[in-house]
């Protein structure tokens, strides 16, 4: 029994070998027919007929060791109906594939004619036709490498032969079992600077950065493959192509294009299976133009898209739900006359060459000057194209498909045009005016003496004074007496509540018109200028879910903030009040959660400033007459720089129960500490219970701990406020709780950004991660907590605006 299979296989091998030697080359008198195959000299490749799908036969080339891996197909669009085909070589050197009826289904096209042609499958997998008589055997009349299918083998070229105008590119199979041409192509885009592009039809899916004279930029990730293959890039007057060779000749490797992008596959020494070494287009930032115009993709950030400095989303609503397609536009429009400069952005994939110009052999300074001269130039950079001096690249119009790389990838920098206001500089023209006037003042000083100097100084001061008062006008100043009258001299009956920085009063300006007045404590220690600065800052924030600041009032020591009046007071008056709870059904509660999330997203990411609220809690959520939520009390809010993510303070201000661990313990606050507070708030709204002071007969955890325990026991619904029976959809509630738990996770890094929160709340289909342990998940001793956190709300009335 044991001997039989052995005899069997050796017999088969013998047969194959005989066929192979019989058909090593094709000449006009010797076609290969039906199941004959052509074998390359070193036996790596075979060519012959193979079937794919249902009753379709193709002429192809495949690996001898891997008959399933077809690397080239001749008659992709025109299959044979059966295996009775023959490949013949005509007298003039054209390969022709004939079907059973001797009709031609495919033929090679070449402009050259051979005297005495012979066809041969080379060891590289290249099927060539050459002239037997030709002295140099390397000159081919036709070669299959010039007409790639979906695979790029070693020695194949991807790109242009400028002499013949022929472009070689890969075209995917329709699917794994259908070799006919699919929608995807991969080739050399010969726009001013060459770059490799994967496209689906006419739409780009991925591109490398442009050729910079030394290498293709913007593909640092594929450098890992340098250990296996050595890339070859040729760009001169006759040729432009990409090719590669294996570093270790015993490693078999190929590049394959399919729906999932470009993959580099290898068979390692001693192995008999193919492994995927890398896939181009392997992360979100590789998708062409994923962030839209004038934005940058940062793979380590969440969400990945950011507008470039000085730009804002074209559509806040779309941006808020992570739809970045419409991109960003300038916050402050450019004004070429007023003077501009450039902002350097380091280590990026250069934008696509859509409206683009290259100037060879200029210095970087000339490049900058050239870009500055032309008002339509929005960005420039240098590159090593051209000999000697570097070249100058300039973009006009939208900047598409930029991404940021890691520090150590050492990609290129780009310089983007900005108005001075975005660079924090005064106008250059302004500077010049000052310079000139100072110079003339000096000369006048010499000529005319002190008097003139004095006049100029006085004039300038006057100018500044008038400019300052103009700025003040942005926010209405209310008269102290009017306010006093409207609040009945700050009478107790008009008092609405006590905020962090002092009492809040209701005031009726007229019979119908109400406002809310917050009278700041006198010991706030804040100067008039600081107060004004802050008030103007808050007044600029305009969002449906933020309470609107109408103006302020300053008189002597008195500081007051005037807000729109919210008849329904604050959220805590509803959710924690047994008699009013039921007024907020599940739908309404969900709307309130969504509203708060939107307001917070605006503060964090969508307003001109980046604001950390630091004191988000139920009593700071006001409700208007339709119970729409409005975030209020920016008393301890902090402004962050656009790129700042975290700050530290020695004085921890805020409200226990809502503070994240890193803030309460280390004084570190960030957008993620606001997210924590939001999570607490969300769970409070769902449960109708306060986080702080929460008691449960079975354990001593806070509300967060309680929610987490229930969640892990699959009993999330038990967290629900019992008065909500019947008004909710189970799935929605569980989803909400899950999002709440994600927001209160212990590690700030793991909490989602508000943009993701809004997205998750708004999209039922979004897949949510499983939450991890919440912050402060340690059981309190029954009294311990109150020792730790002494007085409920700590309020220190210093408002720090930076």
As annotated, the active-site residues are 615
Which among 57, 3, 17 is positioned nearest to 33, based on CA atoms?
57
CA distance 686 to 732: 11
E-assigned strands of 370-500?
377-383, 391-396, 402-404, 412-419, 495-499
Read out DSSP for 159-227? Answer: EEETTTTEEE-EEEEEETTEEEEEEEEEEEE-SSS-EEEEEETTEEEEEPPPB-SSSBSS-GGGGGGGG
Within 607-646, which residues bind ligand NAG (CB under 6 A)?
none
Quote the least distance from Cβ 649 to ligand NAG, whole Å.
Answer: 39
Q: Does 369 bind ligand NAG (CB under 6 A)?
A: no
Closest CB to ligand NAG among 239 and 764? 239
Which of residues 51 and 793 has its CB atom nearest to ligand NAG in the complex? Answer: 51
Q: How many residues bind ligand NAG (CB under 6 A)?
A: 27
Closest separation in Å from C-beta 88 to ligand NAG: 8
**Is there binding between residue 103 and ligand NAG (CB under 6 A)?**
no
- DSSP symbol at 579: T
Q: How far is the CB of 363 from ligand NAG (least distance, A)?
A: 18
Q: Which is nearer to ligand NAG, 376 or 440 (CB)?
A: 376
417: left (phi over 0), alpha (psi -120 to 50) or beta: beta
Give the interface segment with ligand NAG, choosing from 6-14, 39-47, 373-381, 723-731 (CB under 6 A): 373-381
* Site track 129-168 with ligand NAG (rule: CB under 6 A), x = hit: ----------------------------------------
Q: Count Cβ neighbours within 10 Å for each residue of 97-135 and write b for 16 or more, e otherwise.
A: bbbeeeeebbebebeeebeebbbbbbebbbbbbbbeeee
Which of the ranges 172-180, 328-336, 425-433, 696-704 carries the binding residues for ligand NAG, by CB under 6 A?
A: 172-180
Instruction: Determine the interface stretch with ligand NAG among 56-64, 176-184, 292-300, 562-570 (rule: CB under 6 A).
Output: 176-184
Binding flag, residue 521, ligand NAG (CB under 6 A): no
- One residue of 21, 103, 135, 237 binding ligand NAG per CB under 6 A: 237
Confirm or reject binding of residue 10 to ligand NAG (CB under 6 A): no
* Given 24, 77, 239, 498, the residue binding ligand NAG (CB under 6 A): 239
Among 6, 21, 29, 54, binds ligand NAG (CB under 6 A): 54
3 state DSSP class of 3: helix
- And the tokens for 259? 């729906």
CA 705/CA 686 separation, integer angstroms: 15
Q: Got the DSSP string for 484-539?
A: HHHTTTT-GGGEEEEETTEEEEEEESSSS-EEEEEE--GGG---HHHHHHHHHHHH
Listed ranges 322-330, 420-428, 481-489, 692-700: which one lies at the site for ligand NAG (CB under 6 A): 322-330
The answer to whether 374 contacts ligand NAG (rule: CB under 6 A) is yes
CA 627 → CA 566, 570, 585, 622, distances in Å? 9, 10, 12, 8
Tell me how many degrees the CA angle 383-386-389 measures, rounded to the nearest 5. 75
Q: Select from 326, 335, 451, 712 the one that contacts ligand NAG (CB under 6 A).
A: 326
Of the candidate spans 69-77, 174-182, 485-493, 771-779, the one that interacts with ligand NAG by CB under 6 A turns out to be 174-182
| Near ligand NAG in 375-414, by CB under 6 A | 376-377, 396
Q: How far apart, in whole angstroms, are the C-alpha atoms of residue 703 and residue 718?
A: 12
Nearest partner of 515 among 481, 480, 486, 555, judged by Cα: 486
Among 94, 154, 225, 253, binds ligand NAG (CB under 6 A): 94
CB atoms within 10 A of CB 42: 10
CB-CB contact of 392 with 367 (8 Å): yes
Which of 30, 200, 204, 357: binder of ligand NAG (CB under 6 A)? 357
Q: How far is the CB of 644 from ligand NAG (least distance, A)?
A: 29
Q: Among 90, 161, 190, 494, which residue interacts with ligand NAG (rule: CB under 6 A)?
A: 90
Query: How many other C-beta atoms are found inside a 10 Å radius of the C-beta of residue 139?
Result: 11
- Give the strand pairing for 166-168 and 158-161: antiparallel
Contact status: 797 vs ligand NAG (CB under 6 A): no
User: Does position 271 bind ligand NAG by CB under 6 A?
Assistant: no
Query: How many residues does this entry show for the chain?
Result: 802
Least Cα distance to 660 among 704, 699, 618 occurs for: 704
Look up residue 80 and give its two tokens: 């044979």
238 interacts with ligand NAG by CB under 6 A: yes
Binding mask 109-128 for ligand NAG (x = CB under 6 A): ----x---------------
* Contact status: 55 vs ligand NAG (CB under 6 A): yes
* Span between the terminal Cα atoms of the chain, in Å: 88
323 belongs to the binding site for ligand NAG (CB under 6 A): yes
By CB under 6 A, residue 101 contacts ligand NAG: yes
Q: Is the CB of 358 or the CB of 509 nearer to ligand NAG?
A: 358
223/405 Cα distance (integer angstroms): 13
Helices (H), 23-90: none
Q: How far is the CB of 318 from ligand NAG (least distance, A)?
A: 5
Select from 44-52, 370-378, 451-459, 575-583 the region that touches ligand NAG (CB under 6 A).
370-378
To the nearest whole angstrom, how small is the minimum distance from the Cβ of residue 240 to ligand NAG?
9
Cβ closest to ligand NAG, residue 102 vs residue 300:
102
Establish if 177 lies at the interface with ligand NAG (CB under 6 A). yes
Based on CB atoms, which residue is closest to ligand NAG, 355 or 409? 355
Token pair for residue 210?
């442009």
**Nearest distance, CB of residue 82 and ligand NAG, angstroms:** 10
Closest approach of ligand NAG to the CB of residue 543, in Å: 21
Stretch that binds ligand NAG, among 236-244, 550-558, 583-591, 637-645 (CB under 6 A): 236-244
Q: Is residue 433 within the footprint of ligand NAG (CB under 6 A)?
A: no
Residue number, 238 or 712, with CB nearest to ligand NAG: 238
Nearest approach, Cβ of residue 769 and ligand NAG (Å) = 21
565 vs 572: CA distance, rounded Å: 17
Minimum CB distance to ligand NAG smaller for 322 or for 535: 322
d(CA 359, CA 260): 37
Instruction: Give the CA angle between residues 25, 26, 31 to the nearest 5°.
Output: 135
Question: Least distance from C-beta 130 to ligand NAG, angstroms?
Answer: 15
Q: Does 190 bind ligand NAG (CB under 6 A)?
A: no
C-alpha of 570 from chain center: 37
> Closest by alpha carbon to 24, among 3, 4, 40?
40
CB under 6 A: which stretch of 75-83, 289-297, 372-380, 682-690 binds ligand NAG?
Answer: 372-380
Site for ligand NAG in 301-320 (CB under 6 A): 318
DSSP letter at 725 equals T
Closer residue to ligand NAG (CB): 101 or 136: 101
Which residues does 32 contact at the CB level (< 8 Å), separation at least 6?
23, 26, 38, 48, 86, 87
Using CA atoms, how far apart are residues 208 and 261, in angstroms rounded to an integer?
Answer: 13
CB of 186 vs ligand NAG, minimal distance in Å: 20
Stretch that binds ligand NAG, among 40-48, 272-280, 371-379, 686-694 (CB under 6 A): 371-379
- Name the residues that contact ligand NAG, by CB under 6 A: 54-55, 90, 92, 94, 101-102, 113, 174-178, 234, 236-239, 318, 323, 325-326, 357, 374, 376-377, 396
């Amino acid at each position: 029994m044991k001997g039989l299979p052995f005899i069997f296989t050796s017999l088969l091998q013998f047969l194959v070998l005989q066929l192979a030697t019989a058909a090593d080359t094709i000449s006009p008198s010797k076609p290969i027919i039906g199941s004959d195959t052509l074998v390359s000299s070193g036996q790596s490749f075979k060519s012959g007929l193979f079937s794919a799908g249902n009753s379709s036969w193709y002429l192809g080339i495949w690996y001898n060791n891997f008959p399933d891996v077809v690397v080239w197909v001749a008659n992709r669009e025109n299959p044979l109906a059966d295996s009775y085909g023959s490949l013949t070589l005509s007298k003039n050197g054209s390969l022709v594939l004939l079907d059973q009826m001797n009709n031609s289904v495919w033929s090679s096209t070449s402009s050259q004619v051979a005297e005495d042609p012979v066809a041969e499958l080379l060891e590289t997998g290249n099927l060539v036709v050459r002239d037997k008589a030709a002295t140099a055997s390397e000159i081919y009349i036709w070669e299959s490498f010039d007409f790639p299918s979906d695979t790029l083998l070693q020695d194949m070229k991807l790109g242009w032969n400028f002499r013949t105008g022929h472009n070689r590119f890969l075209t995917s199979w329709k699917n794994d079992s259908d070799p006919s041409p699919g929608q995807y192509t991969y080739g050399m885009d010969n726009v001013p600077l060459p770059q490799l592009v994967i496209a689906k039809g006419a739409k780009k899916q991925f591109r490398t950065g442009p050729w910079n004279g030394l290498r293709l930029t913007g593909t640092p990730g594929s450098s890992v493959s340098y250990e296996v293959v050595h890339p070859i890039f040729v760009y001169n007057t006759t040729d432009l192509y990409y090719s590669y060779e294996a570093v270790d000749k015993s490693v078999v490797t190929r590049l394959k294009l399919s729906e999932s992008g470009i993959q580099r596959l290898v068979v390692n020494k001693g192995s008999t299976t193919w492994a995927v070494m890398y896939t181009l287009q392997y992360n979100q930032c590789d998708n062409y133009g994923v962030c839209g115009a004038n934005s940058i993709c940062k793979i380590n950030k969440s969400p990945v898209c950011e507008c470039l400095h000085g730009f804002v989303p074209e559509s806040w609503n779309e941006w808020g739900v992570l739809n970045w397609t419409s991109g960003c536009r300038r916050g402050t429009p450019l004004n070429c006359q007023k003077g501009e400069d450039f902002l350097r952005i380091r280590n990026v994939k250069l934008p696509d060459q859509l409206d683009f110009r290259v100037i060879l052999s200029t210095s970087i300074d000339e490049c900058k000057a050239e870009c500055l001269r032309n008002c339509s130039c929005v960005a420039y950079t240098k590159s090593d194209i051209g000999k000697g001096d570097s070249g100058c690249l300039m973009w006009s119009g939208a900047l598409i498909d930029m991404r940021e790389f890691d520090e150590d990838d050492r990609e290129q920098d780009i310089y983007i045009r900005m108005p001075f206001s975005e660079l924090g500089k005064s106008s250059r023209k302004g500077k010049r005016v000052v310079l000139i006037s100072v110079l003339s003042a000096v000369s006048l000083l010499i000529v005319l003496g002190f008097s003139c100097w004095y006049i100029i100084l006085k004039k300038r001061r006057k100018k500044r004074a008038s400019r300052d008062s103009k700025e003040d006008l942005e926010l209405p100043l209310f008269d102290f007496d009017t306010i006093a009258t409207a609040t009945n001299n700050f009478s107790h009956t008009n008092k609405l509540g006590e905020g962090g920085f002092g009492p809040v009063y209701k005031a009726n300006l007229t019979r119908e018109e109400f406002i809310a007045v917050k009278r700041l404590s006198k010991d706030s220690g804040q100067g008039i200028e600081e107060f004004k600065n802050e008030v103007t800052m808050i007044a600029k924030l305009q969002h449906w879910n933020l309470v609107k600041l109408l103006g302020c009032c300053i008189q002597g020591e008195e500081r007051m903030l005037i807000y729109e009046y919210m008849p329904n007071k604050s959220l805590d008056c509803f959710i924690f009040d047994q008699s009013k709870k039921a007024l907020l059904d599940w739908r309404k509660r969900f709307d309130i959660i969504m509203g708060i999330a939107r307001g917070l997203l605006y503060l964090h990411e969508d307003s001109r400033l980046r604001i950390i609220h630091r004191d988000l809690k139920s009593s700071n959520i006001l409700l208007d007459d339709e119970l729409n939520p409005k975030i209020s009390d920016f008393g301890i809010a902090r402004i962050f720089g656009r790129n700042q993510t975290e700050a530290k303070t020695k004085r921890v201000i805020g409200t226990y129960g809502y503070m994240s661990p890193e803030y309460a313990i280390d004084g570190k606050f960030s957008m993620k500490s606001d997210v924590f507070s939001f999570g607490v708030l969300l769970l409070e709204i769902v449960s109708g219970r306060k986080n702080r002071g929460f008691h449960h007969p079975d354990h001593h955890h806070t509300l967060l701990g309680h929610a987490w325990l229930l969640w892990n026991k699959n009993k999330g619904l038990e967290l629900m406020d019992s008065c909500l029976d019947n008004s909710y959809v189970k799935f929605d509630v569980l989803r909400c709780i899950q999002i709440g738990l994600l927001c209160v996770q212990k590690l700030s890094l793991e909490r989602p950004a508000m943009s993701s929160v809004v997205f998750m709340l708004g999209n039922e289909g979004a897949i949510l991660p499983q939450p991890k342990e919440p912050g402060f998940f340690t059981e309190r001793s029954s009294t311990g907590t109150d020792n730790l956190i002494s007085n409920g709300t700590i309020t220190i009335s210093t408002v720090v605006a930076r």
